Amino acid sequence: MSTSALPAATARGNTGSIAIVGALFFIFGFVTWLNGPLISFAKLAFDVSETLAFLIPSAFYISYFCLALPSSLILRKTGMKKGMALGLFLMAIGALVFGQFTTQRVYPGAVAGVFVIGAGLAILQTASNPYISILGPIEGAAQRIAVMGICNKLAGVLAPLAIGTLVMHGMGDLSAQVANADPATKSQLLDAFAARIHGPYMIMACLLALLAVGILFSPLPEIRAEEVNSDGGASGKTSLFQYPHAWLGALCIFVYVGAEVMAGDAIGTYGAGFGLPLDETKFFTTFTLCGMLLGYFTGLIVIPRFVSQQRYLAFSAILGVVLTICAFLTKGYVSVGFVAALGFANAMMWPAIFPLGIQGLGRFTEYGSALLIMGISGGAVIPQLFVHLKQTHDFQLVFMALMVPCYLYILYFGVRGHDAGRAKMSASRH
């Protein structure tokens, strides 16, 4: 596979380009990891059930499924650089919509705002993930994406702390007051609580719009995927269906993101199942993200110097199974600790799965990237299964029954699935 077609000027400017894309990953990491605390926020502010509160992450992740393929068509016309700017503008609009409707306590409007934010991220991720993957040799893509992951998860660690401090402080006491208040007082309390979100989201919208302008005038080079991500036989291919590893990779992204959201966003709900205090569970997402940061630093050191990205992916999947079973066999804070430790197991999965899924796609790279981005919708489906099934079954059993199959499929992709069809193509050229 050719990855040496990067122009010399581009190769020399990789460090600056990586830094700019790293800033993008920080931004959408911050936005993405707000979803976990927003579940608890929505449940109280809008006075809805836990099932309805989970519409926040569901709307966010389902937007990837709806917008990923259109994003690939947009990127074919605009190029990756302008596409990133467009995604940021769309996210800014979504932040405005969410902040405004939440302040008015109009839940459908707030969910629509989250969907628009996710739509902007679909464009941004469809552009930025293949961009960083093919900015250098594909064999080292996991290492570059690990750097992006560090930026992403640093933002993720800060996001729950920021919203917890600025918006969700005193939720335990407020919940008790609301439960004992008359209808008029209850409405006033919830209106005041919901209004806390307005300022932070207006500031976020402005920053996203400014960053979009900055990207347009940045020195980021345009990269033609067909020149730097070809397996040597792509010119003879007429359809993405001729690359089975890309489709298997999309399914792998689906189960991975579902597992990541379960360990990150749903950890507060998991902890609440043990009766742990609300003022503590709202910070549990931060513990998972700290585990992911540790996992990224580990991957940055060992891949590809000591182990290939596919072997590390297989190891991570096995660790995920072990930690999930340990969470099932324990209770309380210890069990929550094992769920948080899944952050370490999950950390290097996306950095390994994505480049393995788009490897050698050539002129189909944008479409393959969109296909993998559609897999992010697993973050909507699997947590929704969890929140529904735990109403009639033991929540720890449901957690394990959903997570173990996810990790077993990721293990398959790391061992065999990533090479499906590729060995045959390689043999046919020799």
Average pLDDT of the chain to the nearest whole number: 85
The pTM of this model reads: 0.75
Is residue 140 scored above 70 in pLDDT?
A: no
pLDDT band at 32 (very low <50, low <70, confident <90, very high): confident
The structural domains of the chain, with segments of one domain joined by +, span: 8-228+237-428
Is residue 428 scored above 50 in pLDDT?
A: no
Sign for the pseudo-dihedral over CA of 146, 362, 76, 366: negative
Using an 8 Å Cβ cutoff, are 262 and 383 in contact? yes
Q: Which alpha helices (DSSP H) does 13-140 contain, by range? A: 14-32, 35-45, 50-53, 55-103, 107-133
User: Tokens for 84?
Assistant: 């990133």
User: Tokens for 146?
Assistant: 């690990």
**pLDDT the model gives residue 335:** 96
Max mean pLDDT range (49-63, 95-109, 274-288): 95-109
The whole-number average pLDDT for the span 352-358 is: 88
Is residue 5 scored above 70 in pLDDT?
A: no
Least confident span in 7-21, 292-306, 323-337: 7-21
Q: Which CATH number fits domain 8-228+237-428: 1.20.1250.20, 3.40.50.970, 1.20.200.10, 3.40.50.300?
A: 1.20.1250.20
**What pLDDT, in 10s, does the model give residues 72-91?**
888 888 888 888 899 999 99
